[in-house]
């Protein structure tokens, strides 16, 4: 068997393994609870309020402004681009696909699976949410603030559906979708750092209207959609008992093996090196 055939076989074996796992159907993918319904309703209402009242004010302020965007926002907004996220996680996936898990034993094997699943989850949640957001923005075709004709003032809503042009790709914001999806994904994977990830995600979202590329409503809709997609996607992983698990109340937590000793990626790495150091001495 050639190297290429062996590589394809390993990928096929992994897909088969995931598809054959026993599913956990104790909880719904979309739990209909008071909190979930109220959260969705509040986000929709807030988006409508922004479109009706805040976006026109923002557009008027943007037109009257003659200053250049601050360099800080230009730096921050680059963090919301999908290319660097997909490139780094994609390279990790390719590397781990070549250096397969069967080469490792013990905690090294655990680390391999943890890194692979982390990279796979981050890659796919950003890619899939971004694709859906791009389809939505092309279908809606809302004009970006700087390309909104002054003749429609005071309303800030001007759309040309299915134009497939940069000028008509404002709602929802793609950068904000990526920010919301990535922020929640990292919060789920590394809960101790959740406030930092939330702050970073919000900063990326805020940078879009600060640069004049999106309305405030575009940002809220994109961020909320990205976070919502990641939440549902993580629950799909929990259904397959991969990376995440359901709590007794239907929430999400990182999946642990045994009594949770291998739940943490950092703990697994530390244990591996501690055992190696002890063996050397």
Domain boundaries, the chain: 43-150+164-237
Give the model confidence (pLDDT) of 102-121 as tens digits. Answer: 777 777 888 888 899 999 99
What pLDDT does residue 6 have?
61
pLDDT band of residue 164 (cuts 50, 70, 90) is: confident
Give the residue-averaged pLDDT of 177-185.
97
The yes/no answer on whether domain 43-150+164-237 falls in CATH 1.10.3210 is no
Give the residue-averaged pLDDT of 131-150.
94
Tell me what the pLDDT averaged over the chain comes to: 85
What pLDDT does residue 17 have?
65
What pLDDT does residue 171 have?
97
What pLDDT does residue 96 have?
87
Angstrom distance (rounded) from CA 268 to CA 256: 11
Distances (CA, A) of 63 to 76, 205, 257: 23, 21, 57
If you ran DSSP here, which 8-state letter would residue 219 be given? H
Q: Is the whole-model pTM more than 0.75?
A: yes
H or E stretch at 254: strand 252-254
Least confident of 64-68, 172-176, 183-187: 64-68
Give me the residue label for tokens 């150091």. 277
Give the residue-averaged pLDDT of 14-43.
80
Angstrom distance (rounded) from CA 2 to CA 253: 40
Phi, psi of 16 (to 5 degrees): -65, -40
Within 10 Å of residue 258's Cβ, how many Cβ atoms?
A: 7
Angstrom distance (rounded) from CA 135 to CA 131: 6
Percent of the chain scoring above 90 in pLDDT = 56
What pLDDT does residue 72 have?
87
* Alpha helices (runs of H) in 99-167, residue ranges in sequence order: 107-140
Give the residue-averaged pLDDT of 183-207.
96
CB 232 within 8 A of CB 29: yes
Phi, psi of 252 (to 5 degrees): -120, 145
Taking 80 as the threshold, does the pLDDT of residue 68 lie above it?
Answer: no
pLDDT band of residue 10 (cuts 50, 70, 90) is: low
Parallel, antiparallel, or unpaired for β 252-254 and 244-246? Answer: antiparallel
Give me the residue label for tokens 């719904």. 28
Nearest CA-CA partner of 232 in 27, 19, 30: 30
pLDDT band of residue 255 (cuts 50, 70, 90) is: confident
CB 10 within 8 A of CB 94: no
Taking 50 as the threshold, does the pLDDT of residue 273 lie above it?
Answer: no
Give the residue-averaged pLDDT of 124-128.
97
Nearest CA-CA partner of 214 in 130, 148, 127: 148
């Amino acid at each position: 068997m050639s190297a290429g055939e062996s590589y394809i076989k390993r990928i096929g074996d992994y897909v088969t393994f995931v598809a054959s796992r026993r599913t956990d159907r104790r909880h719904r993918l979309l739990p209909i609870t008071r909190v979930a319904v109220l959260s969705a309703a509040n986000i929709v209402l807030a988006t409508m309020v922004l479109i009706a009242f805040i976006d026109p004010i923002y557009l008027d302020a943007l037109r009257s402004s003659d200053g250049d965007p601050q360099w800080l926002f230009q730096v921050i907004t680059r963090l919301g681009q999908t290319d660097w996220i997909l490139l780094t996680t994609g390279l990790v996936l390719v590397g781990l696909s070549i250096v397969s898990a069967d080469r490792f034993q013990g905690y090294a094997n655990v680390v391999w699976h943890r890194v692979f699943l982390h990279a796979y989850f981050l890659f796919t949640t950003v890619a899939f949410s971004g694709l859906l957001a791009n389809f939505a923005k092309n279908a809606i075709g809302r004009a970006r603030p700087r390309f909104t004709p002054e003749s429609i003032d005071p309303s800030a809503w001007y759309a040309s559906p299915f134009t497939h042009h940069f000028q008509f790709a404002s709602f929802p914001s793609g950068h904000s979708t990526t920010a919301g999806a990535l922020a929640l994904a990292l919060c789920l994977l590394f809960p101790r750092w959740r406030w930092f990830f939330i702050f970073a995600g919000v900063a990326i979202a805020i940078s879009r209207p600060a640069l004049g590329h999106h309305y405030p409503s575009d940002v809220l809709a994109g961020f909320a959609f990205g976070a919502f997609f990641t939440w549902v996607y993580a629950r799909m992983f929990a259904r397959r008992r991969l990376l995440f698990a359901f709590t007794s109340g239907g929430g999400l937590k990182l999946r642990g093996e045994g009594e949770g000793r291998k739940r943490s990626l950092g703990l697994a790495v530390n244990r591996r090196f501690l055992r190696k150091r002890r063996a050397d001495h």
